[in-house]
Copies of this chain bind each other. A is one copy, B any other.
Amino acid sequence: PPVAPVSLQPVYDGPLPTPPQRAFQPGSTPAHLTHRFMMWNSVGIVRCYNDEPENSVDIEFHDSAVHHSMHLSNALGHKMADISQEAVLLACPGSDQLASKLLCLHFSSWDTCKEWVVDLPSEEDVQALCLGRGFVAVATSALLLRLFSIGGLQREVFSLSGSVVCVCAHGDQLCVVYHRGRGFDGDQALGVQLRSLGPRHRLILDQPLPLSPNSHLSWMGFSAEGSLCSVDSLGVVRMLNRSLGNSWTPVCNTRDTSKSKSDHYWVIAVHENPPQVRCIPCKGSRFPPTLPRPAVAVLPFKIPLCQTSTEKGQMEEQFWRSSLLQNHFGFLSSSGFEIDEEAESRGLKEQQELLMKMFALSCKLQREFRCVELAHMMSQNAVTLAIKYASRSGRMGLAQRLSTIALEKAQEEEEQEEEEEQ
């Protein structure tokens, strides 16, 4: 009997596109959970209890002076939330009968009625939202970014070039993460836009967002001091480095602290002064349960330099970490904020001291070339100290070279002063 003819067709076994990660609110636990966090950030916590037949939302402020706790019934089925010093924002997806809705509890308003609601056009769903200072940003399934004033006026609308992953804001800054393409074999292909909605609306950057291989974005937000930060599903925390042409520098790997592969740290906030990655340790899980009330842990910053078990590596890590954290002072003061001037000068002093320590170590190791490289990074005062150190150690050739550098630095400072006077 004839054997069935089986045609040998070409079967694709090359790289496969990764399913694009879904839109999410950074600081929330998954929507399918009965009890979940809709938002946990540095202002407060929004919990959602979806117990049949009741569905409710609990809002709690870390600082009760900002506002007292609130308990709302969630008849509309809000799924997304954000919370700021000015307002609480909630949104629900649409259904066949009902439009997707945005609800803002603008508690900092002096009006009697502090609530406002907006219905989205039909067939358009809120996918991500955030509260900035004085504004609300909403990304929708129509690939639109809709801005509102915190009082509920509609503002600008613009198109996104890919579906949204998340949005976040700080002061005038708005960040949108979106799918810029399709990643392969476990990678995502995300893009990040940073805009300033100040007096003039400006696009500050629009670039690919770096992630660890085979990971997705798990948190995005601004440090308390206004620097953009990301966390990927492999636990790498990165900070946008303004002094490095807006590249991203890894500042912490939460996995370094995990005892087991199945333990995770769920990041809720990043602070620069003092430097802290605030997060909730989750045993055997990616997300914390709402009960018992999770405890917050604090992880330190650490830049992944090489050989950090050596004295040299340690000092280098400290120096570059300190330099990175120095950036926000300039940003804040140029944005019109008051800054912690004591912390600023403490940082600058620390960096000079670290340069001196590295200088001394290089001297000890007979690495005079490095001593000169370090001197170039020093302030004029520190170079003077370095010259003394070299002379005392009998390194007259080195002291000579350093004198030249000191002279150059003196000239440069003079020129700068002259420029500033003009």
Contact = CB atoms under 8 A, between A and B. Distances in A.
Given A2-B3, A210-B143, A111 B154 contact: no
A240 to B, nearest CB: 10
A184 B374 CA distance: 47
A316 B158 contact: no
Nearest to A146: B306
B110 A157 contact: no
Contacts of A118: 306-307
Interface stretch (A52-60, A72-80, A220-228, A364-372): A364-372
Contacts of A206: 207
A154 B157 CA distance: 42
A20 B196 CA distance: 34
A317 B305 CA distance: 50
B156 A367 contact: no
Nearest to A11: B9
Given A16-B12, A161-B208, A151 B306 contact: no
A270 interface: no
A15 B13 contact: no
Contacts of A160: 210
A111 B397 CA distance: 11
A237 B129 CA distance: 25
A330 interface: no
A139 to B, nearest CB: 13
Tally of this chain's copies: 3
A151 to B, nearest CB: 4
A110 to B, nearest CB: 7
Interface stretch (A30-38, A244-252, A258-266, A386-394): A244-252
B305 A151 contact: no
Nearest to A192: B161
Q: Chain A contact residues: over half helix, strand or loop, or mixed? A: loop
A144 B238 CA distance: 12
A153 B17 contact: no
Contact of A207 (B161, B201, B368): B161
A352 interface: no
A207 B366 CA distance: 43
Contacts of A120: 306
B213 A143 contact: yes
B306 A208 contact: no
Interface string A93-133: 00000000000001001111100001111000000000000
Interface of A: 1-6, 9-17, 19, 106, 109-113, 118-121, 134, 142-146, 149-163, 180-182, 184, 189, 191, 195, 200-203, 206-210, 212-213, 238, 241, 243-250, 303-307, 313, 316-317, 320, 358, 366-370, 372-374
14 contacts: A4-B6, A9-B11, A14-B17, A15-B182, A121-B306, A142-B212, A150-B373, A152-B370, A154-B313, A157-B250, A159-B247, A159-B249, A195-B245, A203-B246
Closest 7 CB pairs of A and B: A203-B245, A161-B208, A158-B247, A159-B210, A4-B4, A151-B370, A154-B316
